[in-house]
Amino acid sequence: MIVQFGSALIELVLGDITTQEVDAIVNAANSFLAGGGGVDGAIHDAAGPEIIKELARRYPDGCPTGSAVATSAGLLAAQFIFHAVGPVWEGGGKKESQLLQSAYETCLDLAEQNRCRSVAFPSISTGVYRYPVDLAGEIALRTVATRLESTQQIKLVRFVLFDQGTFGCYSRILETMLV
Ligand code: ADP
């Protein structure tokens, strides 16, 4: 599914983010930037061991929840990895929605600062961090669509969704945004 917002596109695909040919891919990292399971493990496995070293060297204090930091992309086709730290879902009363929105916004800021034309996101926080996919998808898609209405720099944002349930949920939300 592909939809135009401003002069840019939002695309939803079912697949693996590590193989995407875009300028930047986003990682769902933890605040220690220490590597983990899920999409984080897959990205570090595919990009190679230099990325963990670069993270430790450039960001020894880690990254707060709701923010993101940039590194090179090692063996990946992308030029950059943006390591975003989404919130752990704790029922919705711990500013999770603001923190998730801010994680996406920081990645979009990094994309603009690094002159990226294309960025691929996973579904941040909806795995081990247990954020409900319908709520997270709404924030992800609205935050990106709002930015695409106002930026000339980013031309494509691709959401790379790893399972059919997440892909279906994001697709339904994007459809409701068209009417
Ligand atoms: P978080 O800790 O932020 O919840 P996870 O990595 O546990 O991060 O999960 C985030 C989402 O990324 C989940 O939907 C998970 O299925 C998905 N995911 C896992 N591996 C990949 C991959 N290789 N490409 C894209 N998405 C992935």
**Which amino acid residue places its CA nearest to atom 26 of ligand 1?**
162
What backbone phi and psi angles, to 5 degrees, belong to 23? -70, -40
pLDDT confidence tier of residue 107, bands split at 50, 70 and 90:
very high
Q: Is 40 a catalytic residue?
A: yes
Is-contact 106 70, C-beta < 8 A? Answer: no
User: What gap in Å lies between CA 70 and CA 157, rounded to an integer?
Assistant: 17
User: Rg of the chain's alpha carbons, rounded to an integer?
Assistant: 15
- Indicate the CATH number for domain 2-177: 3.40.220.10
Q: Is residue 1's pLDDT more than 80?
A: yes
Q: Encode pLDDT of 73-96 as tens digits.
A: 999 999 999 999 999 999 999 999
Residue 36's pLDDT is: 87
pTM comes to: 0.98
> Residue 142: which pLDDT band, with cuts at 50, 70 and 90?
very high
Find out whether 26 and 121 touch, Cβ atoms under 8 Å: yes
Q: What is the pLDDT of residue 85?
A: 98
pLDDT greater than 80 at residue 179:
no
At position 12, the amino acid (one-letter code) is L
Which of 16, 23, 40, 61 is flagged as catalytic? 40
Domain ranges (residues) in the chain: 2-177
The pLDDT value recorded for residue 63 is 98
Name every residue whose Cβ is closer than 8 Å to that of residue 113 and which is 6 or more positions away in sequence: none
Task: Spell out a b/e string for 2-24, using b for 16 or more CB atoms within 10 Å of the CB, else e.
Answer: ebebeebbbebbeeebbebebbb
Ligand 1 cavity residues, CB under 6 Å = 16-18, 28, 38-40, 42, 86, 122-129, 160, 162-163, 166
| Contacts of 52-55 spanning 24+ positions with Cβ under 8 A | 55/83
**In angstroms, what is the span from residue 134 Cα to ligand 1's centroid?**
15
Give the C-alpha separation, 13 to 163, whole Å. Answer: 10
pLDDT for the residue 124: 98
Identify the pLDDT of residue 42.
98
| pLDDT tens sequence across 27-55 | 999 999 998 899 999 999 999 999 999 99
Give me the pLDDT at residue 35, please.
85
In degrees rounded to 5, what are phi and psi of residue 38? 55, -140
Are 17 and 160 in contact by the 8 Å Cβ rule? The answer is: yes
- Residue 171 makes CB contacts below 8 A (sequence gap 6+) with 1, 12
**Which ligand 1 atom is at minimum distance from the Cα of 123?**
11
